[in-house]
Amino acid sequence: MDTHLQDIYDVVLRRNPGESEFHQAVLEVFESLAPVVRKHPEFAESKVLERLCEPERQIIFRVPWVNDAGEIEINRGFRVEFSSILGPYKGGLRFHPSVNLGIIKFLGFEQIFKNALTGMPIGGGKGGSDFDPKGRSDREIMAFCQSFMTELYRHIGEYTDVPAGDIGVGGREIGYLFGQYKRITNRYESGVLTGKGLGWGGSLVRKEATGYGTVFFADEMLRSRGDSFDGKRVVVSGSGNVAIYAVEKAQQLGARVVACSDSGGYIVDEAGIDLELLKELKEVHRERISTYVERRPSATYVADGSIWDVECDIALPCATQNELDEDAAVTLVKNGVRVVAEGANMPSTPSATRVFSDAEILFAPGKAANAGGVATSALEMQQNASRDSWTHEYTEERLAGIMRGIHERCAASADEYGAPGNYVVGANTSSFVQLAEAVLALGVI
């Protein structure tokens, strides 16, 4: 970084102590911006970066609820409304015991740039709670969601802030949250949440969108070099919503997906992942990935190992932040990986990203590759606003077009700022310029 950017980053560190994930997300963007700041001195003069690094609003609240044993439990809720410079705050809710303010801020900061890349009129935000839905009954999850929304409702709205799902928040949780919002406000405001059920305001392809979009982006990188997914060996980390539909689209494009994982370990199935079995285990029964091998003789299970030890042509990290470190990156490169596309938010550590860059691996950062989820959320908002419902084919076509557009923007911006083929630079510079121009246009607010 040049001196000006380093000075701003030092202030971010001082004002946000202990928030390592947020620091990492800011640094990752700043490392790309020196040529932009040189070309546009007006951005520095107007303190655009300083404004973008400070959330417009940070909300922290208590979430009391009663479990099945009749005991009172207390969790902490968060909503960081980071930037509305391009539109209403838009970003998911994460329910996981690791959630804290620093993680929500890193996710919200990433969301600003990701949402800008989509070309949709949406700002960036993120929220969640340290509540752990694993092992909870439906009644307990409903009780928690209702208590959470009893505070959150006053801060959101279809023209203000539109949450969606994330880790630990799927269709069930969105349903309970939306029901409580409707009950409190006495309004059927469909556009206040996305990821809704198809029968009550949801959109086709929304469930699949993040995983599909990641594969669409990776396919565009391959196509730009005269290649494709056909016949490629693919490894996908995770086995949640993003991972399942990344597996599905990769298989549809002719790839053989041989491994996926959860927090306990990973499976390898040389015959190719049985997608219907994976969906049944994870979406219907909510079981551990280890049970896959009980029904699939061709598969093996490795407990507590690294899925990145499995040889592959294409790696799709779709689990969580910082899951792919430098050692894993070195192993992937040694084993012949050619493409890495991030389905999760910031799953590769900075040192891992450098390994991929040095080895000239095609690498797609999450803010570009996994933007399909929030893009389709914006399409859901469009359908809600017009009281319309689109077909699966039309919606998937829109998603594919958006991902092509993001790829084109990233590639063009990387070329413009002297880093051809570097999608990290392309994503950061393209989105930052759009945000910075909007900040200047709207004045000091």
Residues annotated as part of the active site:
126
Distance CA 225, CA 223 (A): 5
Terminal C-alpha separation, the chain: 28
Buried b (16+ CB within 10 A) or exposed e, 130-141: bbebeebeeebb
Question: Vertex 426, ends 239 and 442: CA angle to 5°?
Answer: 105
**Structural element, H or E, at residue 401:** helix 392-416
Residue carrying structure tokens 């040189």 = 38
Query: What string of DSSP letters covers 331-346?
Result: HHHHTT--EEE--SSS
- Strand ranges in 372-439 using DSSP code E only, listed in sequence order: none
Q: What are the C-alpha distances in Å from 195 to residues 54, 164, 337, 414?
A: 28, 6, 33, 33
Q: How far is residue 362's CA from residue 276's CA, in Å, rounded to a whole number? A: 30
CB atoms within 10 A of CB 307: 24
Task: For residues 202 and 193, give the distance between their C-alpha atoms in angstroms, rounded to a whole number.
Answer: 9
Dihedral-angle region of residue 415 (phi above 0 means left; psi in -120 to 50 means alpha; beta otherwise) = alpha
Residues 6+ apart with CB under 8 A from 418: 35
